[in-house]
């Protein structure tokens, strides 16, 4: 009586199958990662569109853009546009106080009572999903979008009609409720409103990186003095806010000088460039290779520069 012989995989055949599976995974993984980044980038674009629309709705209701920040160092745009990014309950939870000299509440203190709880709440519309740290500065969230502070260093800004930066939308840090879209003579489609910034690692175990802390005045915007994702370091106004032992943090130095004024560049985790919102509400992807002259020209509102549509 003959018994039927059962045949199985040989070791060589098994190794070949494993090798084929490994090759397929190696081929498919970059495509999957690319698709995920494309989805994250699309969400980032949607965030900027939402914030840009919120800025326009705020301006329609108040006659001006919200303050970039006022005095030192709280009261930034992040709170004032909350009702226009579908965050009415969060806005209503803020205690603006009853200071007669501060009717708009721009001097409100974020991190202390009575705003301790609400100030710790992350607004996802302010967060780019490609920037994974979701860091905290103390107890408060870091964000990924900054308003246009012009193309000079922070210490050089003091006059909304400043000659050196052509009157950026948020260029006068100390000005509250004085600038509207109607003042833009360069054209709203050729003027930057906002751009991406990268979250620093925050304040962890005594280590501080203030970049992305949009609730703090200086860090609530960006300067076009530096090109997008510049290899030149950001210049923070004090060394204690520029400690970055984490590899993912962009370079920075903490000692401003006449040749390197205090400035925060536009940066992102997207390959090749940054997303920006223009003053007409449109959103663009600006490549790292953009001419620095064009980039700086886009940051002005009344610089009278002539910029062709294919220049960026």
DSSP states of 202-256: -BBTTB-B-TT-TTSGGGGEE-TTSPTT-SSPEE-SSGGGB---STTSPPEES--
Q: pLDDT value at position 48? A: 97
195 pLDDT exceeds 90? yes
Give the ranges where the chain is alpha helix by DSSP (H).
11-62, 77-80, 88-93, 292-298
Is residue 292 one of the residues assigned to a domain? yes
* Segment 221-233 mean pLDDT: 86
216 Cβ contact partners less than 8 Å away, ≥ 6 residues apart: 69, 73, 74, 76, 137, 210
Strand partners, 204: 207
* Segment 61-81 mean pLDDT: 75
Q: Which residue has the tokens 């160092």?
A: 73
Please indicate whether residue 276 or residue 247 has the higher confidence score (pLDDT). 276
Percent of the chain with pLDDT over 70: 68
Is residue 118 one of the residues assigned to a domain? yes
Is residue 64 one of the residues assigned to a domain? yes
Please indicate whether residue 229 or residue 251 has the higher confidence score (pLDDT). 229
Cα–Cα separations (whole angstroms), residue 18 to 9, 22, 24, 29: 12, 6, 10, 16
Is residue 312 one of the residues assigned to a domain? no
Least confident of 7-11, 16-20, 172-176, 269-273: 172-176
The dihedral over CA atoms of 33, 36, 40, 42, expressed in degrees to the nearest 10, equals 120
Structure tokens at 244: 């970055």
Is residue 211 one of the residues assigned to a domain? yes
**pLDDT mean across residues, the chain:** 76
Q: Provide the number of structural domains found in the chain.
A: 1
Please name the helix (run of DSSP H) or strand (run of DSSP E) that holds residue 195, with its range, or none: strand 192-196
157 pLDDT exceeds 60? no
Q: pLDDT value at position 217? A: 66
Please name the helix (run of DSSP H) or strand (run of DSSP E) that holds residue 278, with its range, or none: strand 273-278
Is residue 87 one of the residues assigned to a domain? yes
Q: pLDDT value at position 301? A: 81
7 Cβ contact partners less than 8 Å away, ≥ 6 residues apart: none
Q: pLDDT value at position 156? A: 45
Distance, CA of 157 to CA of 153 (rounded, Å): 7
Q: What is the pTM of this model?
A: 0.78
What's the 3-state SS for 69-130? CCCCCCCCHHHHCHHHHCCHHHHHHCCCCCCCCCCCCCCCCCCCCCCCCHHHCCCHHHCCCC
Domain residues for the domain of 280 are 13-306
Cis peptide bond N-terminal to 131, omega within 30? no
Strand partners, 263: 235
Instruction: Grade residue 160 by pLDDT with cuts at 50, 70 and 90.
Output: very low
Structure tokens at 8: 């199985």
Report which of 56, 51, 309 is spatially closest to residue 298, judged by C-alpha positions: 309
Is residue 7 one of the residues assigned to a domain? no
Cα–Cα separations (whole angstroms), residue 86 to 130, 201, 204: 22, 28, 31
Is residue 302 one of the residues assigned to a domain? yes
């Amino acid at each position: 009586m003959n018994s039927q012989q059962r045949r199985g995989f040989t070791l060589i055949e098994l190794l070949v199958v494993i090798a084929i599976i490994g090759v397929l995974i190696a081929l498919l993984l970059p495509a999957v990662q690319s698709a995920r980044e494309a989805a994250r980038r699309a969400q980032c674009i949607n965030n900027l569109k939402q914030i840009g629309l919120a800025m326009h709705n705020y301006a329609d209701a108040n006659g001006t853009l919200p303050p970039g920040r006022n005095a030192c160092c709280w009261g930034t745009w992040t709170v004032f546009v909350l009702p226009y990014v579908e965050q009415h309950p969060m806005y209503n939870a803020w205690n603006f106080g009853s200071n007669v000299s501060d009717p708009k509440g721009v001097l409100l203190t974020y991190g202390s009572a009575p705003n301790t709880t609400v100030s710790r709440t992350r607004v996802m519309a302010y967060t780019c999903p490609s920037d994974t740290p979701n860091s905290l500065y103390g107890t408060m969230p870091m964000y990924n979008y900054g308003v246009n502070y012009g193309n000079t260093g922070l210490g050089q800004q003091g006059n909304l009609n400043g000659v050196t930066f052509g009157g950026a939308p948020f260029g006068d840090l100390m000005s509250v409720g004085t600038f509207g879209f109607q003042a833009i003579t360069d054209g709203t489609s050729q003027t930057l409103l906002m751009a991406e910034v990268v979250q620093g690692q925050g304040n962890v175990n005594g280590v501080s990186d203030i970049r992305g802390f949009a609730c703090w005045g200086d860090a609530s915007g960006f300067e076009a003095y530096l090109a997008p994702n510049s290899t030149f370091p950001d210049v923070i106004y004090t060394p204690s806010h520029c400690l970055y032992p984490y590899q993912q943090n962009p370079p920075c130095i903490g000692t401003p000088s006449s040749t390197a004024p205090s400035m925060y560049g536009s940066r992102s985790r997207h390959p090749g460039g940054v997303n920006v919102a223009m003053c007409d509400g449109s959103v663009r992807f600006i490549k790292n290779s953009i001419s620095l002259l064009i980039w700086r020209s886009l940051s002005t509102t009344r610089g009278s520069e002539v910029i062709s549509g294919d220049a960026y």
